[in-house]
Structure 1
Amino acid sequence: MCGIIGVACAEGKCPSIDARVLGRLRDRLAHRGPDGAGLLLERNVGLGHRRLAVIDPSAAGQQPMVTPDGAHAIVYNGELYNDAELRAQLRASGVRFASTCDAETLLWALATWGERAIDRLRGMFAFAWHDRIRQRLVLTRDPFGIKPLYYWVGTTGVGLELVFASEIHAILDHPHVPIRPDPLGISAYLSTIRTVLSERTMFEGVRAVRPGQRVEFDLADPAIAQSSHQHDATFEPISTSVRDVIEDAVRRHMRTDVPLCCLLSGGLDSSIIVSVARHHVHGLQTYCAGAPSADADDDLHVSPQVARELGVAHHCVDVPLSVFVQQWPRMVDALGVPLSTPNEVAINAVARRMRADGRVVTLSGEGADELFAGYDQPLGAVRTAFAGSATVTAEQLAQFELAHHSWVAPELKGALFNPAIAEEIEEDEWLFDTTRASFEEALDQSPSMPPEDRAVRAMLGYQRRVNLVGLLGRLDSATMLAAIEGRTPFADRAVQALAESLQTEAMIRWESAQAETKLSLRRAFADVVPPMAIQRAKASFPLPFQAWLEPFGPMLATSEFLGELFSAAAIGTVSVRPAEHWRLAWPMINLAMWGERWWGAHEKRPGLFPGVVEVDARVRISDDGGSQPMHRSPAARSNSGTG
């Protein structure tokens, strides 16, 4: 696992920064790669790499990596889980390898098969490929979006210039990249608690490469013409056995030349992974993090019991209020973006403990809920909403999702935001259109069935396309801050192919008072996973963060950045009772930290939000922690048609 960065401009020109500055930007990603650094700046393209040595830690795996003829160069962040199969095919075509590093496998695959190589990859990846013969630069990510990649294209002193990196703050350190907030990205964050949605980030002009997207830049064109393509997502199931497919995925994810461990919460998903991994790692170590409490069913109490039954050595990491208060602002400062969920603090705490214990790679259970129907409440709610409906459409599903599952519903923002911001977000049209597009993709892949069942399947597809991307990003950012590589065996192309071939009734049963979820997983591993893990209900947050928001109330009241975004009434109400109004307080406190990180000095803020003046739009805060407009906002949408 690594950090990558690069700059490029049209052929015949040179980037606006030299090797010294590019090296400084690269080293902003040092936490992602403490084991080595590489740089290549030739003519119109510069590539930088920070290395976390996991496979073949020798010098043969250093990047940027270039073919012997100089025709192709890459910087790559990820792991290939079908590396052996790809190498066998490439050897058959005459390729001779100089290392056992999967980066070299990728380089030769691209040199041999071109863009078609990307569809053959099974793994997690984000990379930049410079085809020097065709003067093309390609940025791409794996279909799940496990590894991040961002880019900016704009005018510098040399004309148009492309800047890309694994983390946004490295791009923003480029001396010619403007640092401005994106109101549409901020509004999307308030509703979804995601700092990235589709291509949009919270910074104006900085875009994310979407999961499964290939963005190609023509460097032979002075305008650096840009084209976009999606990977071929088809993947034939390797077996119809749930157990066989998942055991194969776990084994593949365990390939490493450095110490490996597992996260173990005591829930079903992590327990399945550990039940397989323990047979392949002698003395397997497992880890869990959470807030100390008297609750006998929390992770810190249950995970040691599951670990004992599985016969692995287990470590619990306490995350008390003091650690939460200290680490939350530090993480926002280090990452340069707000946190998505409070869990990121716990994940980072346990990752730091892993690294202190000499571990480098960890397996985690993200993906099981989104692929095998683990969220009974949203799935049950959409099933009920569409029961008896004649049809189900993407527009109806988008309305339902934003109305029922938003932290801050779009219809409330007309009163929450200052008028100029409310006007700029245009009634959250972009957020609605993006949500609708995700449901359109999900419906396209949903089989013909009654509307309530098709709605469930579409919601499951939406959770994989949107929710899972956010969870994987959370795992990556929180673990890589501690130089730990997080791997997710459930977020795997073969596992996805199997899950999508299953009937809905094989994953979730509705007959009981409380829906039974992930049936196929529970049945497949019932004889090897302890009963307490098989039967344990899904838990959301391992930290009591609602109560822990209280120390941050004064920050809301004094943040000048928030004063430009929100009404004085909203800020005043939430700052006095943040725990009570946690659905507003969590994103607002994050935004306050983020604003201070980038625009804290008064001279940095003029013109950030044109047209903003001090107002006192009246907002009433409801008892459930959400906000209610004193009158219905024009941003409100009808939620008709979902019943």
Structure 2
Amino acid sequence: MCGIAGIFEFDALALPPDAGLGLRMADSLVHRGPDDGGLLVAPGLLLAHRRLAVIDLSLHAHQPMCDRRGWCWLVFNGEIYNFRECRRKLESLGRRFRSDSDTEVLLEGYLEWGMDVLPELNGMFAFALWDCRDDTLWLARDPMGIKPLFYSERGAFRFGSEIKAILADDRIPAHPDWESLDRFLTFGYPPAPSTGFDGIRQVMPGEWIRVARTGKVTRRRWEDLPYPSGPPGGAFRDSVDRLDAALASAVERQMVSDVPLGALLSGGLDSSAIVRAMARRGGGGAVETFTIGFEDPRFDESTFAAEVARTFGTRHHARRVDPDVASILTTIVSHAEEPLADHSAIPFHLLSESVRKQVTVALSGDGADELLGGYMTYRASQLAPYYRAIPGPIRRSILGPLARRLPLSRGKYGASMLLRRFVDAAERPFPFDHCGWRRMVSSDLRRRLLTPERLAALPPEPLAPYADALAGAPDWLDPLARQLHLDLTFHLPNDMLVKVDRMSMAHALEVRVPWLDREVVRACLAMPSGHKRRGNKGKMVLAAMLHDDLPPAILRRRKAGFVMPLEQWLRCEWQPLLRSALTAEFAHQTGAFQWTCLESMIDEHALGRGDHAYALFTLLVMGIWWRVWITGETRRSVRRPDAAPTQVHRVVRSQGGYLEPSHPRDEGDPS
């Protein structure tokens, strides 16, 4: 796992850019790759790389990497799990290799097949490749969006694994994109390709981008979700067996590592299935497992993780979270870069910090809920049509107000909170009802919270990207499959995978997600919805797969996740932080928020007269993000003093390629 960055000038006659700028870009990513660094300086081009050494720890895997003739230079972030199979195929075609790295497999694969190499790859990745034969820059990202890649086209093409690498160039200002931020207030994240920053965008999952020196930028989606050609069928037991085999193979592929490896264990079915497969594979002693819990017993589920760990004989490690975590919110916002109102980023950040002290790579259970129907929101969508069948006047004048007046709940999933969300969302047709279950700032609150001037400058409804996500779905999908498609293509890459990547890589921890392995995704999409969810039971096929291996208490437990006592902390321990971040000055600086509404929300929540926890946390993140990234008042360096230096490579034209003057030439290469 690594960090990449670079600049590609829109000028065929451009001189080599300032190496100092390239070093600043590399330094901004040093937390992602403390083990090694490289910078290519060529005419009109910088390619920067920071390396976290996981596969082939030798210097032969150093990046930027070029072929023997210097025709192509590559910076790569991620892992290709089937690189050995790809390498054998390429060797049969005459390709020769100097390292044991997956990076070189990608490089030689491009030289052999061009961008048609992408469908050959099973992994998580983002990369940039300069092909000096036609002087073009290529960027690409894995189909599920596991690894990030950002870019700006302002004056030149700049890119980076994180936005801070682009902002390392002083010519790129950090200005807010208010249409994107309006969507952040709704979803809790800015949907890709937007980022919250004006002029900075993301490469989409499964997309490649070609950049020419003329400034022409071409985009193409190279892979969509691997649906079957029509509605799937088959027996339930067959679905169980196919899933079991696919997940076991994926875990085996993803356990390949030249550094210590473990697993993140919540005690739920998703991560338990990963640990089960790891324990069955064996070969290296007990599996290292890691979990996190809370001091508040209503929210603590670490006992379930401990029980699963005992079941599979793992070497288990646990850490607890207390309300003092508010002090690290600025650090979390700095690493997230895009505004992200997923409060589970806090425990995940702390968990990653603990895990990195023991291992460099960890497998996680992310992705199973979106593939197998694990969220409660799917049940809500099943019930919504029955609610909408009630006459509108009764819904709006009686049931809606009644739900909003119920006593506030203090538990993890209080009935009053769930009912209020259900009533608000169920008023909308699909797919907007499905989005509404997770909505942070309701449409009514949005109208009261934003200034009339800001509202007038924005689209009337920020939900349009949600409907757009259905555009690539097959027509034959049933209602549950359509909801899963939305979560796989919208919620997962914009929220869950952002959290996993930024919080883990903040500590140079590589997190792998076997549930999003290409073959596991294919197996899940090829099973009927009735094998995944029926009524109130989700992930039925997974529960059946684990039935003989897990204790009944684990099999029966309710879907949980890293849920924090947010409502209580914002009412009590976090009140000082809330009031210092959300001020009249902040409202005035943004020109977007009405201070009277903001202040009344804080007061109502503090006095227990209303539960604004999710909206207030979203606004709190916005306030901190504004200070960190827009005004720069509290921007923090992520420099690691123990990191290896970045080596500068200055290249010159040499018989059709670009090589360092001292680079040995191999004229026998089949390129």
TM-score past 0.5 threshold: yes
Aligned to 1:427: 460
Contact map agreement 1:63 1:75 (CA 8 A) in 2: yes
Give 1:437 shift.
Answer: 1.0
Give 1:559 shift.
Answer: 5.8
Aligned to 2:482: 458
Q: Check 1:557–1:154 CA distance in 2 against 1; reply closer, same or farther (3 A cut).
A: closer
2:430 paired with 1:397:
yes
Distance 1:292 1:446 in 2: 47
Query: Over residues 578-634 of structure 1, what are the superposed CA-to-partner deviations in whole Å (9 max), with x where a residue is unaligned?
Result: 5631121111111110111133379x9xxxxxxxxxxxxxxxxxxxxxxxxxxxxxx
Aligned to 1:407: 440
Distance 1:484 1:328 in 2: 19
Contact map agreement 1:249 1:489 (CA 8 A) in 2: yes
3-state SS of paired residue (1:565): coil
Aligned to 1:22: 22
The percent identity for this pair of structures is 31
Aligned to 1:582: 613
2:331 paired with 1:330:
yes
Q: Check 1:300–1:389 CA distance in 2 against 1; reply closer, same or farther (3 A cut).
A: closer
Aligned to 2:404: none
Give 1:337 shift.
Answer: 3.5
The residue identity in structure 2 corresponding to 1:284 is: V
The residue identity in structure 2 corresponding to 1:543 is: M
The residue identity in structure 1 corresponding to 2:316 is: H
3-state SS of paired residue (2:295): coil
Query: Over residues 156-175 of structure 1, what are the superposed CA-to-partner deviations in whole Å (9 max), with x where a residue is unaligned?
Result: xxxxx011001112211211
What are the within-5 Å matches in structure 2 for residues 334-349 of structure 1?
334-349=335-350
Give 1:124 shift.
Answer: 0.2
Give 1:387 shift.
Answer: 7.0
Distance 2:385 2:371 in 1: 21
Give 1:397 shift.
Answer: 2.2
What are the within-5 Å matches in structure 2 for residues 117-266 of structure 1?
117-155=117-155, 161-194=156-189, 196-219=190-213, 221=214, 224-233=215-224, 241-266=242-267
Aligned to 1:571: 598
The residue identity in structure 2 corresponding to 1:233 is: D
3-state SS of paired residue (2:143): coil
Aligned to 1:10: 10
The residue identity in structure 2 corresponding to 1:215 is: I
Distance 1:71 1:257 in 2: 29
Deviates more, 1:404-413 or 1:72-81: 404-413
Aligned to 2:420: none
Give 1:541 shift.
Answer: 3.4
Contact map agreement 1:290 1:542 (CA 8 A) in 2: no
The residue identity in structure 1 corresponding to 2:466 is: T
Give 1:562 shift.
Answer: 3.2
Distance 1:372 1:244 in 2: 16
Deviates more, 1:535-544 or 1:87-96: 535-544
The residue identity in structure 2 corresponding to 1:530 is: P
Aligned to 2:472: 441
Question: Of residues 541, 550, 558 in structure 2, which corresponds to 1:529?
Answer: 550
Contact map agreement 2:266 2:561 (CA 8 A) in 1: no
Aligned to 2:313: 311
Q: Check 1:175–1:388 CA distance in 2 against 1; reply closer, same or farther (3 A cut).
A: closer
2:486 paired with 1:485:
no
Aligned to 2:286: 283
3-state SS of paired residue (1:78): strand
Query: Over residues 377-419 of structure 1, what are the superposed CA-to-partner deviations in whole Å (9 max), with x where a residue is unaligned?
Result: 32122233357999xxxx9423323444311134542321112
Aligned to 1:636: none
Return the TM-score normalized by structure 2: 0.82
Q: Check 1:17–1:332 CA distance in 2 against 1; reply closer, same or farther (3 A cut).
A: farther
3-state SS of paired residue (1:154): coil
Structure 1 portions without partners, runs of 5+: 156-160, 448-453, 605-643
Q: Check 1:87–1:330 CA distance in 2 against 1; reply closer, same or farther (3 A cut).
A: same
Aligned to 2:450: 417
Query: Over residues 110-131 of structure 1, what are the superposed CA-to-partner deviations in whole Å (9 max), with x where a residue is unaligned?
Result: 1110011111111000111111
Contact map agreement 1:446 1:457 (CA 8 A) in 2: no
Give 1:301 shift.
Answer: 1.9
What are the within-5 Å matches in structure 2 for residues 42-57 of structure 1?
42-57=42-57
Contact map agreement 1:292 1:319 (CA 8 A) in 2: yes
Contact map agreement 1:9 1:44 (CA 8 A) in 2: yes
Q: Check 1:578–1:169 CA distance in 2 against 1; reply closer, same or farther (3 A cut).
A: farther
Q: Check 1:54–1:577 CA distance in 2 against 1; reply closer, same or farther (3 A cut).
A: farther
Distance 1:91 1:528 in 2: 42
Q: Check 1:108–1:529 CA distance in 2 against 1; reply closer, same or farther (3 A cut).
A: farther
Query: Over residues 232-270 of structure 1, what are the superposed CA-to-partner deviations in whole Å (9 max), with x where a residue is unaligned?
Result: 336599996111011011111111000001011111111
Distance 1:131 1:493 in 2: 28
The residue identity in structure 1 corresponding to 2:29 is: L
Distance 2:364 2:48 in 1: 29
Give 1:176 shift.
Answer: 0.8
Give 1:30 shift.
Answer: 0.4
Distance 2:475 2:13 in 1: 45
Contact map agreement 2:40 2:48 (CA 8 A) in 1: yes
Contact map agreement 1:379 1:459 (CA 8 A) in 2: yes
Give 1:17 shift.
Answer: 4.4
Query: Over residues 489-523 of structure 1, what are the superposed CA-to-partner deviations in whole Å (9 max), with x where a residue is unaligned?
Result: 0011111111111011111122xxxx111111111
Superposed CA RMSD? 2.3
Give 1:485 shift.
Answer: 0.2
Distance 2:558 2:258 in 1: 35
Query: Over residues 42-81 of structure 1, what are the superposed CA-to-partner deviations in whole Å (9 max), with x where a residue is unaligned?
Result: 0022100000000001001110011111111110000011
The residue identity in structure 2 corresponding to 1:86 is: C
Distance 1:250 1:495 in 2: 10
3-state SS of paired residue (2:430): helix
3-state SS of paired residue (1:87): helix
What are the within-5 Å matches in structure 2 for residues 620-639 of structure 1?
none
Aligned to 1:607: none
Distance 2:336 2:383 in 1: 40
Give 1:39 shift.
Answer: 0.4
Distance 1:273 1:97 in 2: 33
Number of residue equivalences: 573
Aligned to 1:83: 83
Give 1:285 shift.
Answer: 1.0
What are the within-5 Å matches in structure 2 for residues 492-511 of structure 1?
492-510=517-535
The residue identity in structure 2 corresponding to 1:398 is: P
Contact map agreement 2:7 2:46 (CA 8 A) in 1: yes
Distance 1:601 1:484 in 2: 27
Give 1:16 shift.
Answer: 8.5
Give 1:134 shift.
Answer: 1.8
Aligned to 1:354: 355
Give 1:435 shift.
Answer: 1.1
Distance 2:311 2:69 in 1: 55
2:267 paired with 1:271:
no
Structure 2 portions without partners, runs of 5+: 229-237, 390-427, 636-671
